[in-house]
Structure 1
């Protein structure tokens, strides 16, 4: 199949369903090329010990085998696959992801709840008219619910551990329905929402609901002539509650417009939305057809056209922790200058490797805001655990590994959750040595680096520079010993005329 260089693909591996969207842009608006959805019920396979069952994994893999065929016409760098709540929580997620990535031929990015919320808002915002209304966006997924408030961009983001699959399994097992069970589910959801109500007050003028639960409820209320199309009201919710609880089991519930593929998880999702109506005290919402996957496409297009949210996040961290940006830029420039010499030996695309290396250089002194002793460890901890808009957990882990290992002895056995690319780390370590005195000069004209093979780095340094910088020369000799002992990488220093 010929590749369409103008197409983008977003694959959302949700807790309830897998959604594929392939689209292009026309006048800055999405033009849908293909959609595909499978109700995988991944969250239903998560046991009490946090392990994803073999059956659930197989359902997911069967779905992805079909989806992989549809991705073949999209350039690899224009595909983004994200995993949400269930893959965040599953203790054996890596086992499933390894099989899934082999099928898809592209990496899966696990994103945090707040990053999921940001992408939801980005998608919904591009579905609505451009105006000055502050909005509360509610996205009820299979395992989590995202609340986002903002104007033209999100300002408040929360991800709560309640979803249509998890709540249906917990409070309505095997589809059983009762007033008592419904009240328990609603109270549980209200308890999760309550701590966040005050911070959201005054930050929205209208409420928008996205994803399957909201659209399903809206469709049913329209079929029953209880609400206008695309709307959900408090009165409509009350009427639908009575219709739902008139049956003893969801399988027997005679609700016009309730689809078979939504029926098993409807009660849990309905209870979550009902609780939000009560706790957040809104009286109506309207639904959007856009959600996480549309947000992913807009975000991906931004990355490829110089509107990368991650760049803004790096700038904000630099400002927040008062990093010496001039020093970070000096180190970054030298690293990026050397990168082509190891390009054939790195474990990721050149473009992403360049960005990660540059960002790590810009943030390598992040931990100094906490303490000078062990500041590389403090910086790595922040990068592993902070909410970093635009970044996946894997990207944060790789960034953390670079910062953790930029000084002192590298720690091959100490993982930040990533598989460190040690040659990238070597470049960062060497650049930090050369700019240890924080001198405001460009060194890339004088210092050349080559790498004949992945286990050998050669530095070509003018003899006069070595004579004029004896402490740096000594540091480089020490570094050669460290790299050989810890990483089995030879650093060869050659004096030039």
Structure 2
């Protein structure tokens, strides 16, 4: 079947719903090709120990089977699947993702809360007319709520553990509704947001809401003539609150404008927005039709048109931690030059490998900002745990693994993130580049150093005997590296000299 090379697909595996959006771009604007939404209620499947139930997993897999058919016309590299709050929290997320990826045929990227917030803002910003106003963007999902302020770009980002599914289950168990439980839900939400009110204060001129809960509330207010279309006010929220409290169970919610498929999780989501209006003194809110999936598409398309947020993040790390940029670029250039010789035997896709290797080379001395002793460990820790805009958790783990292993004894991760396993050929290439450039020399006869691979765990190095004779310390380092790599991870480094 022929593919539409101009189409891009974003699949948001949310805690309440799975959303698929397929679109192309014209004049930097989305042209929608297809949409699909399933109310999966993934967060409802988390038990008290954060394990995802078999029933919830099966609901999700049934949805993904339908979605997979819609993705057949989209090039694989132009599909991005993102997992959010529930998959961040689930202890058995790896088990589910293994099954889900088998159904979809593409990898799932778990993103942090702040990365989700960034993508929400990116989506909403592209829905609004460009101006100089600063905005507060609020997105209430199934398991988390994202708060972002910014203008053309996000400035403050927070992700709070409160959502329409999680709060409905916690405060309105089995669908029961009463004023005492509603007040508890509002109080809990205000407690979660209160530490951030001061830093967000005076940072915005206009509030904008996105996603299902907020759009549902705006729809109710519009249908009942309480607010203009796409608009939410405190008085409008008070009116809905009184309608909610007239019912004793979600099955009794006969609110004009409320869809049947949202009824069960509406009280929890409404309580969150009600609390945000109170705690943050929001005078009114406009509603955007764009959300995280539109942000994913803009971010994904940017990677193909030289607007990759990950590149910007790497540059910011270099500046923030005062990394020796010249040395990082020298190591990166050497790695990139050698990569084609081993590309055939990599376990990582070549394009991804090139990016990861270049970024790891540029950041391999990141940990020196903390301490010289064990700096590779410090750098790896930062890359694993920092909020890195544009990167998924798996990408951060792969980058961290390379930096951790660029020197000293190579080691496999003890409890790796799902989908992350060492590609020892990439590790070996980075280690060799660091050895050859240990003296930070500006020139190296790299064209005389040939690196190839004849297998998944083998690197062959060929260089002139005359060069080895002139550089005995590097020659000794190479011999030590060959012994260490073989002993530690079974990577064979074969060094040969030629006339």
Maintained 8 Å contact 2:118/2:157 = yes
From 433, 448, 455, the equivalent of 1:431 is: 433
Would you say 1:152 and 2:152 are equivalent positions?
yes
Q: List aligned pairs for 1:29-428, cutoff 5 A.
A: 29-412=29-412, 414-417=414-417, 418-428=420-430
Write out the 4+ residue segments of structure 1 that deviate beyond 3 Å after TM superposition.
413-416
8 Å Cα contact 2:345/2:453 also seen in 1: no
Matches of 1:151 and 1:447, distance apart in 2: 50
* SS at structure 2 position matched to 1:264: helix
Residues 88 and 110 in structure 1, CA contact (< 8 A), matched pair in contact too: yes
CA distance in structure 2 between the partners assigned to 1:440 and 1:36 by the alignment: 54
Q: How many residues align?
A: 497
TM-score by length of 1: 0.99
Conserved? CA contact 1:16–1:141, under 8 Å: yes
Q: TM-score, with normalisation over the residues of structure 2?
A: 0.99
Q: What displacement does 1:413 show?
A: 5.2
Q: How many angstroms does 1:202 deviate by?
A: 1.1
More moved, 364-373 vs 487-496: 487-496
Q: Whole-Å Cα distance in 2 between the matches of residues 297 and 123 of structure 1?
A: 8
**Separation in structure 1 between the aligned mates of residue 134 and residue 457 of structure 2, nearest angstrom:** 55
2:475 alignment partner in structure 1: 473
Cα distance between partner residues in 2 of 1:236 and 1:402: 53
**Is the 1:10–1:79 contact (alpha carbons within 8 Å) kept by the matching residues of 2?**
yes
RMSD: 0.8
**Residue of structure 2 in register with 1:448 after alignment:** 450
| Alpha-carbon distance between aligned partners in 2 of 1:129 and 1:348, rounded to the nearest angstrom | 41
1:368 is displaced (CA, Å) by 0.5
Kept in 2: contact 1:145–1:160 (CA 8 A): yes
Question: The residue matched to 2:103 in structure 1 has which SS?
Answer: helix
- The equivalent position to 1:484 in structure 2, one of 483, 486, 492, is 486
Larger displacement relative to structure 2 (414-423 or 46-55) = 414-423
CA distance in 1, matches of 2:273, 2:412: 47
Q: Distance in 2 between matches of 1:415 and 1:251?
A: 44
Report if aligned partners of 1:400, 1:416 keep a CA contact under 8 Å in 2: no
Q: Unaligned regions of 5+ residues in structure 2, if any?
A: none
CA–CA separation in structure 2 for the residues paired with 1:80 and 1:30: 16
Native 8 Å contact 1:40 1:63 kept in 2? yes
Conserved 8 A contact 1:140-1:213:
yes
Q: Secondary structure at the match of 2:23?
A: strand
Contact 1:250–1:264 (CA under 8 A) maintained in structure 2: yes
SS of the residue corresponding to residue 464 of structure 1 reads: helix
2:255 alignment partner, SS class? coil
Structure 2 Cα separation of the partners of residues 457 and 350 of structure 1: 16
Q: Residue 164 of structure 1: CA displacement?
A: 0.1
Q: Shift of residue 444 of structure 1? A: 2.2
Q: Distance in 1 between matches of 2:131 and 2:408?
A: 52
The 2-side partners of 1:435 and 1:145 are apart by 47
CA contact (8 A) 2:401 2:413 kept: no
CA distance in 2, matches of 1:281, 1:27: 37
Contact 1:384–1:416 under 8 Å retained in 2: no
Structure 1 residues 327 and 69: alpha-carbon distance in aligned structure 2, compared to 1, 3 A threshold: same
Mean CA deviation greater in 62-71 or 336-345: 336-345
CA contact (8 A) 2:19 2:37 kept: yes
Secondary structure in 2 matching 1:492: strand
The answer on whether the counterparts of 2:345 and 2:454 sit within 8 Å (CA) in structure 1 is no
